């Protein structure tokens, strides 16, 4: 499940900020837990973060930015204005361009009123082409940004590492943007990122 993989983002950021947290298992694909999830997130999506005061955060980029903002000592966002603005731009770029294309690739019926397998295949192919083009643009725009430093990744890196795993994006990047693909692979070897990825792949 793509949603389950988005939990990786939450765990990377919280561990990088050294914030203690408790995970409550609830998801849209588990009918017995869905009502508990919908009680805090009517869309039934994960990750959903409930803060100490009971307020609720949804949307992965918003959760990452909240954690980074509340824990500046973790260095998850740049300090200088120009670099900060570009990190925010990169996060919105992924949320606005890459993730919707992944969703349409997974659920092509949402992009057409046609019901045939052939029409759905066309939608899926178009979505993947758009996704791969978006990642190529991202690589051109953001390669070398300090938030993508494999030695000290920020929330932009967590988002890029996670979302680029889907719908053939890594294969496309390896072929067309090999240097950026290599950066993603180095980011995955960072101790926090590597430990979270390993744990989630075991579940």
Contacts of 67 (CB under 8 A, 6+ apart): 13, 14, 17, 19, 74, 76, 155
Locus of tokens 């950021």: 13
Percent with pLDDT over 90 in the chain: 76
Indicate if the pLDDT at residue 4 is higher than 60: no
Indicate if the pLDDT at residue 2 is higher than 80: no
Indicate if the pLDDT at residue 3 is higher than 70: no
How confident is the model over 103-119, as pLDDT tens digits? 999 999 999 999 999 99
How confident is the model over 15-25, as pLDDT tens digits? 999 999 888 88
Mean pLDDT of 84-98: 97
**Secondary structure class of 141 (helix, strand, coil):** helix
Q: How confident is the model at residue 1 (pLDDT cuts 50, 70, 90)?
A: very low
What sign does the CA torsion over 90, 96, 101, 104 have? Answer: positive
Q: How far is CA 185 from CA 10, 170, 174, 189, in A?
A: 20, 10, 10, 7
How confident is the model over 166-188, as pLDDT tens digits? 999 999 999 999 999 999 999 99
Q: What is the pLDDT of residue 202?
A: 61
């Amino acid at each position: 499940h793509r949603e389950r993989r988005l939990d990786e983002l939450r765990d990377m950021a919280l561990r990088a900020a050294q914030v203690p947290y408790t995970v409550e298992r609830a998801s849209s694909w588990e009918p017995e837990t869905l009502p508990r999830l919908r009680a805090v997130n009517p869309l039934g999506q994960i990750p959903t973060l409930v803060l100490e005061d009971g307020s609720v955060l949804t949307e992965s980029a918003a959760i990452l930015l909240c954690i980074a903002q509340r824990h500046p000592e973790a260095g998850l966002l740049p300090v200088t204005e120009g670099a900060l603005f570009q990190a925010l731009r990169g996060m919105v770029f992924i949320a606005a361009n890459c993730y919707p294309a992944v969703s349409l690739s997974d659920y092509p019926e949402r992009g057409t009123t046609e019901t045939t397998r052939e029409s759905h295949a066309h939608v899926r192919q178009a979505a993947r082409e758009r996704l791969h083009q978006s990642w190529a643009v991202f690589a051109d725009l953001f390669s070398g940004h300090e938030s993508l430093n494999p030695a000290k990744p920020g929330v932009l890196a967590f988002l890029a590492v996670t979302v680029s795993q889907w719908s053939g994006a890594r294969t496309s990047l390896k072929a067309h943007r090999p240097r950026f693909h290599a950066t993603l692979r180095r980011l995955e070897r960072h101790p926090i990122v590597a430990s979270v990825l390993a744990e989630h792949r075991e579940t």
